[in-house]
Amino acid sequence: MTVVPASRLTFSRKFLERRQGWCIAALLLTSLTTLLLTVQAAVAQEMPTTLPPTPAIGAEVEHKAWSDPLESLGTLKANESVTISATVTEIINEINFEGGEHVERGDVLIKLDDTEEQADLRSAQALRLERQNAVNRFTQLESRNMAPRADVEDSRAQLQQVDADIQALQAHLDNYSIRAPFDGVVGVRQVSAGTLVTPGTELATLDDISSMKLDFQVPEVRLGSLSQGLSLTATTAAYPDQVFHGEVATIDSRIDPVSRSIQVRAVLDNSDGLLKPGMLMRVTIARSPRETLVIPEAAVVPQGQRKRVWVITDQEAGSIEQRDIEIGSRREGEVEVTAGLAEGEMVVTHGADRLHSAATIQLLGIQDEDTDVSDILQSQRSGEDD
């Protein structure tokens, strides 16, 4: 009789238990697989064979003028500006403005009391008449050989002296009539009639605001992209819905060693008179002007470092494809496309977040300069209501 060791009996018993467990697990796995296949078949019978198209809005790839914006803050100055003041000490007789009026060059703005100077001028004019008579008399006597030539020349010299005195008096009298040096708008007057003014007394301001100078600073590192004639736009808080256009007129010849920036001056048209000296404006310079392909910024789908768009290959069928593109600079609501698209192609701008490779779209409308997304959605809702 053979005796089986106890260790072998224990091993066999464990092996049989494990084998039995494996068989049970296999049976459970088979049953679960059969159940899953049955459920999948039932669901497949209930689901439609194709998914409904996804509503979307498209936009055409356009060829537009483009530039790289450079922003800064600037202060407005009048095209010409002067502070009107007196050059003599005298009392004001007349003031011919109240403030805010448009005046022309040569208009008398303020008249000073010139009574004494007018008297001196009349005295000099009377003396001239006397000297002129003396010249005439000596000339007649000389023609008759009754007066020496020297007396005639002396009388003429005395007449010339009086003429010079009269010219000096008339020039001095011009200081008593303060005139506008150029066409412009006069500011609020600072004095009243009867006021004694002295040289340097500020009487009013005069500004030519038909065009405005806009001075602003640009960092030194941007100097290479600046040039005279570059177009720019400017906005101000006083007129938040209006954009003013101009161009770069002057670039300073020196860099500020403290701020490491350079001063730039632009000229803005102000024929409507809205802009005033001293206003703060936000400037956007159009650098590197060029023609390029442009799409709405909403059409770009970023995926990591890649930029993609959904291209509508067939509008009627609603077929689409996803395509990698390369982009350049951006501006409000738009992006420059440097590669991956062609002019005239159609891209999805709204609804792209619900698209996948097997999807189709229902094109609700095309977004352009005359039709925005709200117009398309409003038109769609109106159609559904009807």
**pLDDT in the model for residue 29:** 64
User: Cα–Cα distance between 319 and 341 in angstroms, integer?
Assistant: 17
Domains of the chain, CATH where assigned:
54-64+292-377 (2.40.420.20), 69-77+208-290 (2.40.30.170), 114-175 (1.10.287)
The C-alpha torsion from 8 through 13 and 16 to 20, rounded to 10°, is -160
Q: Could you give the CA distance from residue 139 to residue 153 in angstroms, rounded to a whole number?
A: 9
74 SS3 class: strand
Q: Does the CA dihedral 46-48-51-52 come out positive or negative?
A: negative
Strands 54-60 and 361-367: parallel
Provide the pLDDT for residue 1.
47
Task: Write the DSSP assignment of 203-225 as a string of letters.
Answer: EEEEEEEEEEEEEEEEEGGGGGG
How far is the C-alpha of 45 from the C-alpha of 289, rounded, in Å? Answer: 60
pLDDT confidence of residue 4: 44
For residues 292-312, b (16+ Cβ closer than 10 Å) or e, as one string? ebbbbebbbbeeeeebbbbbb
d(CA 57, CA 21): 59
pLDDT by residue for the chain (386 residues), tens digit each? 444 454 454 545 555 566 666 666 666 666 656 665 665 555 545 544 467 888 888 899 999 888 888 889 999 999 999 999 999 999 999 999 888 899 999 999 999 998 888 888 898 888 888 888 888 887 887 777 777 888 778 888 888 998 898 899 888 888 899 999 999 999 988 888 999 999 988 898 999 999 999 999 999 998 888 889 888 999 999 999 999 999 999 999 999 999 999 999 999 999 888 999 999 999 998 887 888 999 999 989 998 889 999 999 988 888 999 999 999 888 888 899 999 999 999 999 988 888 888 888 888 888 888 887 887 787 777 766 55
Nearest to 80 by CA among 164, 202, 189, 206: 206
Residue 224 is predicted with a pLDDT of 86
